[in-house]
């Protein structure tokens, strides 16, 4: 049976049967990986807190050609974010981030940028460098950018005119329109929001707290989550728990 090792972040765990759990990992080298953790559902098990949400660990696993899922053999915690994730003001934001990755990213598609992005956001929140809503917005912008789906904040998708003060979002979310090309599109982005998309390309998430712009992130969060749902053809259940969607 082929064996492998990878650093990974835990995105979810769920009971598989009376003794085992199904674990979803975002690995640094194998992309999204689903594996069985034998005995993890028992009160006393060898994995312990390794399988907590967004724990960063070294995982050892192997494949059986007759089975669809990999099997975890052992692991070791590299960095625990339990204190960050479990905080009342953070937990539902991280549930949403995990749900987006799980629903949108195909299994075994390797892109180390997403793994590094999540680690940077977790570490930024632990250091209280940025508020959680700004970190979520930063994640959404970079997630769409890495998937090749982020709006071009510099020009109109129809006539290529420069977008200076305001842009209207096409109803199919496939670009921004200028004042001359818009019709009845209800969703818009202002000058500061357009500038923020450019700003994220050159600044780490921890600097969101020193972003010089002046806008509230809630409406832009709703817009980008809607874009992800549209392209992914699914509904994100975790968003209902965030104040930005109430």
Judge if 95 and 73 occupy the same domain.
no
Q: How far apart are CA 86 and CA 203, in angstroms?
A: 27
How do residues 138-188 score in pLDDT, each as one tens digit? 999 999 999 999 999 999 999 999 987 899 999 999 999 999 999 999 999
Q: How many CB atoms lie within 10 A of CB 84?
A: 20
Q: Which residue has the tokens 């003794």?
A: 19
Among the three residues 54, 80, 106, which one is the final residue of a domain in this structure?
A: 80
Among the three residues 56, 80, 104, which one is the final residue of a domain in this structure?
A: 80
Domain hosting 29: range is 3-80
Judge if 71 and 124 occupy the same domain.
no
Judge if 134 and 76 occupy the same domain.
no
Judge if 56 and 159 occupy the same domain.
no
Residue 35 parent element (H or E):
strand 32-37
Q: How far apart are CA 84 and CA 91, in angstroms?
A: 8
Q: How far apart are CA 143 and CA 136, in angstroms?
A: 10
Burial of 69 (0-12, 13-18, 19+ CB in 10 A): middle
Stated pTM of the model? 0.94
Judge if 63 and 124 occupy the same domain.
no
Judge if 7 and 108 occupy the same domain.
no
Residues of the chain with pLDDT under 70: 1-2, 65-66
Decide if 86 is inside a domain: no
Tokens of 20: 């085992």
Q: Distances in Å between the alpha carbon of 67 and those of 63, 160, 239?
A: 7, 51, 34
Looking at the structure of the chain, the number of domains it has is 2
Burial of 61 (0-12, 13-18, 19+ CB in 10 A): buried
């Amino acid at each position: 049976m082929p064996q492998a090792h990878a650093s990974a972040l835990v995105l979810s765990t769920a009971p598989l049967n009376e003794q085992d759990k199904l674990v979803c990992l975002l690995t640094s080298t194998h992309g999204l990986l689903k594996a069985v953790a034998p005995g993890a559902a028992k009160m006393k098990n060898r994995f312990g807190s390794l399988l907590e949400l967004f724990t960063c660990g070294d995982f050892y696993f192997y494949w059986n050609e007759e089975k669809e899922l990999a099997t975890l053999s052992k692991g070791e915690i590299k960095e625990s974010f339990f204190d960050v994730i479990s905080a009342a003001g953070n937990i539902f934001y991280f549930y949403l981030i995990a749900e987006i990755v799980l629903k949108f990213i195909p299994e075994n598609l390797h892109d180390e940028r997403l793994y590094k992005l999540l680690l940077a956001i977790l570490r930024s929140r632990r250091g209280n460098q940025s508020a959680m809503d700004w970190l979520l917005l930063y994640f959404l912008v970079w997630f769409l950018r890495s998937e090749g789906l982020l709006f071009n904040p510099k020009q109109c998708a129809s006539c290529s005119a420069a977008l200076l003060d305001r842009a209207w979002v096409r109803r199919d979310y496939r670009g921004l329109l200028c004042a001359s090309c818009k019709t009845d599109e209800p969703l818009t982005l202002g000058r500061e929001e357009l500038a923020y998309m450019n700003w994220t390309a050159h600044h780490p998430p921890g600097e969101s707290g020193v972003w010089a712009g002046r806008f509230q992130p809630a409406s832009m969060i709703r817009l980008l989550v809607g874009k992800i749902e549209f392209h992914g053809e699914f509904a994100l259940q975790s968003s209902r728990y965030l104040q930005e969607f109430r």
